[in-house]
Amino acid sequence: MSLPFRDRRDAGRQLASNLGTYKNKDDVIVLALPRGGVPVAYEVSKELGAPLDVFVVRKLGVPGHEELAMGAIASGGVLVVNESIVRSLGISRTIIDRVAAREQEELAAREREYRGGHSMPDVRGRTVILVDDGLATGSTMRAAITAVRKQHPACVIVAVPVAAPTTCDELSREVDQILCLETPEPFYAVGSWYENFSQTSTEEIRELLEQAREHAGALRL
C-alpha cells in the first residue's frame, strides 16, 4: 500500500493545492507549529505567496503530573489556562505563574533558535493559517488556536496533511475553516502516513524561515 505523503515537503505541496482561495492575498500569514510543521508550512507559504513564521506553544504541566496540561503559553506572550483543570485540582495562580515562568524561558530559547533576531509578526486583523504535519490528539494545535485568537486575527484556518477523524471534527468547531487532507481510520500515528518522517532539525527550520523571508522580499520588489 502506498502512503499518501512522501515527506513533509510533499505534504505541504498537496495542502497548498487545496488552499488556492488564499493565494496572493495581502492579509494572509502562515504560522507553523515547530518542529515538523515548518517544512509543510514552507511549501504552503511559497505557493500562496504569503509570509511564514513559527508559532511556538509550550504546555503547562500540572506539577507532579506533567503529562496533564493545566494550560499553555505561546508566541507573543500569550497564556492560556484550562480553567476546568485548575478549578478541579485547586491549583493556585502562584503555581500557574511559577510553571509559566519556567516554560517561558524554554519558549524564548526555542524562538531565539528558530527565529533569530526577527520579532513575532502582528496577526491582528489578518487571516492566519496554522499548519502542522498532522494531528493526533490535537492538544498542541488547540492551544495554538486559543492563543492566536487572543491576538485578534480576522480569521483562523487550520491546515494539516493528516489527522485523526475525531480530532479534525472537534477542531472544526473552534476555527473558521479546517483542512485535513487525510482522515484515516484507524489512525495509528501521524508518522504512519509518511514514507519519510525523519526529525526536522533546528538548522532546517532556520534555513526554511530564511528562505521564506527572502522569497517574500523578492515578491515585494
Using CA atoms, how far residue 69 sits from 74, 75, 93, in Å, is 14, 17, 15
Task: Confirm whether 110 is domain-assigned.
Answer: yes
Are residues 62 and 46 part of one domain? no
Query: For residue 62, what is the domain's CATH number?
Result: 3.30.1310.20
For 36, the 3-state DSSP assignment is coil
The separation between CA 30 and the C-alpha centre of its own chain, rounded to angstroms, equals: 9
Residues 23, 46: Cα–Cα separation, whole Å: 10
Closest by CA to 76, choosing from 141, 123, 27, 117, is 123
Q: How many domains does the chain have?
A: 2
> H or E element: which one contains 177?
strand 177-182
Sign of CA dihedral 165, 23, 115, 142: negative
Are residues 73 and 145 part of one domain? no
Are residues 103 and 15 part of one domain? no
For the chain, how big is the Rg over CA atoms in Å? 17
Are residues 145 and 203 part of one domain? yes
pLDDT value of position 90: 95
Are residues 85 and 48 part of one domain? no
Q: Which three cell numbers stand for residue 164?
A: 485523526
DSSP 84: H
pLDDT value of position 195: 97
Please provide the DSSP assignment of 127-153 as one string. EEEEE-S-BSS-HHHHHHHHHHHTT--
Are residues 206 and 104 part of one domain? no
Last residue of a domain, one of 70, 93, 115: 115
Residues 10, 43: Cα–Cα separation, whole Å: 8
Closest by CA to 205, choosing from 51, 54, 104, is 54
Are residues 209 and 172 part of one domain? yes
| Four-point Cα dihedral 141, 59, 207, 17, nearest 10 | 0
pLDDT value of position 26: 93
Are residues 170 and 210 part of one domain? yes
Are residues 152 and 50 part of one domain? yes
Are residues 186 and 138 part of one domain? yes
Using CA atoms, how far residue 64 sits from 84, 87, 98, 103, 111, in Å, is 18, 17, 14, 15, 27
pLDDT value of position 221: 43
DSSP 22: G
Residue 213: domain span? 8-54+119-220
Task: Confirm whether 84 is domain-assigned.
Answer: yes
Q: Count CA atoms closer than 13 A to 6's CA, side-chain side.
A: 5
Residues 163, 113: Cα–Cα separation, whole Å: 28
Query: For residue 127, what is the domain's CATH number?
Result: 3.40.50.2020
Are residues 216 and 126 part of one domain? yes
pLDDT in tens, the chain (221 residues): 689 999 999 999 999 999 999 999 999 999 999 999 999 999 999 999 999 999 999 889 999 988 788 988 988 888 888 888 899 999 999 999 999 999 999 999 999 999 888 888 899 999 999 999 999 988 889 989 999 999 999 999 999 999 999 999 999 999 999 999 999 999 999 999 999 999 999 999 999 999 998 877 655 54
Q: How many residues does the chain have?
A: 221
Task: Confirm whether 2 is domain-assigned.
Answer: no
DSSP 6: S
